[in-house]
Amino acid sequence: MLSITNISKDMGEFLLDDVSLDIAEGEYFVIIGPTGAGKTILLETIAGIYPPDAGSISIESRDVTFVPPRERNVTMVYQDYMLFPHLTVEQNIGFGLEYRKIAPEERKSRVGEVAAIFGIEHLLHRYPETLSGGEQQRAAISRAIVLEPAVLLLDEPLSALDGQTRERLRHELRKLHARYRTTIIHITHNFDEVFSLASRVAVMNKGQIVQTGTPEEVFRHPESSFVAGFVGVRNIFSGTCTTEEGLSRVSIARPDGTEAVVWSLTPHPGGEATFTVRPEDIMIGREACSTSARNSFAGTISDVVDNGMVVAVHVDCGLPFIAYVSRQGWAAVGAAVGETIHLTFMADAVHVF
């Protein structure tokens, strides 16, 4: 549906470096990455704001690499709305319909229809500056979706909003996608948006796409230490890997010279390897757990941080582990900083790359 092939663009401060992506019809595709990774230029290049230095873009099997934005049927929503301040909400939403030569009466009814979906039909006569942030963003999304674009580009559409509004609008985006089945590319910093919206997610860094997959794949099985670090994998260690009994055996040298061994279900060709365990996959107990779990360590509690939702327990097992437990779970363990504790996790919770 949307095919980006080896796109490069150097804008000085930002760049795209040989980016390729294939996005299917009706997909909700989310792109995450640190500030300056080139996410916005990627969207703007798809929209046709700049010609790429190299590579090609096709939409619905039509090469649009050097086609101007107005002939692409791609619309875009920015974080700070970009509603035209001298036009009413109705004129803003109907702006694109004018250029499609839609008659005024029909324009009015289509604008009304979209505004009703977002619950802003009572604001149509107002000017953007008199609207709240959430209302402005609803108007901006309406303006983009009313054209029924082949691809809808959303550049951090929820980042400027307060927590409650963000949650509500996120929900509305899901409904919108369910209703129109538009192909959507959505940039965000917010992982909640990835899990609640994305059918697939890509991670960008320094102008390149470093990993693509379902949210589950990317968050559980990062393919590089950059992705692991970026998606918030806390326990990340490097060592050497061998295969024994059909399992990957990773050996890590502790600072004191002893060897820590971790077992994983992830196949690995052997040699230098990095393994990760998500903090919420680690069980904590005063006694060593006698379960089928392959990995068990004893260590000293070095710090306990109450994050509100979960308690982050930092345990020094020669390797610095972090485990997340619920507040009730932590209270049940009844341990304090300085005490010895046992960590247990399954071989399938360990990801090796």
Partner 1 sequence: MKGDLRRNGVKVATIAIALVITAFIISLLLLVITRPDPQAVIESLLSPEIRFAIYLSLVTSVISTLLCIAVAVPAAYALARYTFFGKSFVSMVLDLPLALPPLVAGVALLLFFGTTAFGDALASIGLVFVFTPLGIIIAQFFVNLPFMLRIMRSTFTDISPRYEYVACTLGCTNLQAIRRVTLPMAGSGFLAGAVITWAKGIGEFGAALMIAGATRMKTETLPISLFLNMSCGELELALSAAIILIVISVVSLYIFELYGGSAKF
Binding site for partner 1 (CB under 8 A): 44, 47-49, 68-70, 72, 74-76, 78, 80, 82, 84-86, 95-96, 98-100, 143-144, 147
Closer residue to partner 1, CB minimum distance, 44 or 281: 44
Closer residue to partner 1, CB minimum distance, 1 or 67: 67
Closer residue to partner 1, CB minimum distance, 49 or 305: 49
Identity of the amino acid at 266: T
Contact between 41 and 9 under an 8 Å Cβ cutoff? The reply is yes
Closer residue to partner 1, CB minimum distance, 40 or 212: 40
Residue listed under structure tokens 């802003």: 120
CB of 150 to partner 1, least distance (A): 12
CB of 105 to partner 1, least distance (A): 19
CB of 64 to partner 1, least distance (A): 12
Closer residue to partner 1, CB minimum distance, 49 or 332: 49
Could you tell me which of 216, 154, 209 has the C-alpha nearest to residue 191?
216
Strand residues in the chain grouped as ranges (E) = 2-10, 15-23, 28-32, 54-59, 62-63, 74-77, 151-155, 183-188, 200-205, 208-213, 235-244, 247-253, 259-264, 271-277, 283-285, 295-306, 311-316, 320-325, 340-345, 350-352
CB of 89 to partner 1, least distance (A): 15
Closer residue to partner 1, CB minimum distance, 102 or 284: 102
CB of 349 to partner 1, least distance (A): 44
* Cα separations in angstroms, 269 against 81, 156, 239, 261, 351: 48, 39, 13, 17, 14
CB of 47 to partner 1, least distance (A): 5
Residue listed under structure tokens 């979960």: 310
CB of 86 to partner 1, least distance (A): 4
Closer residue to partner 1, CB minimum distance, 31 or 350: 31
* Cα separations in angstroms, 38 against 12, 18, 32, 181: 11, 12, 10, 26
- 65-67-69 Cα angle (round to 5): 110
Pairing outcome for strands 74-77 and 151-155: parallel
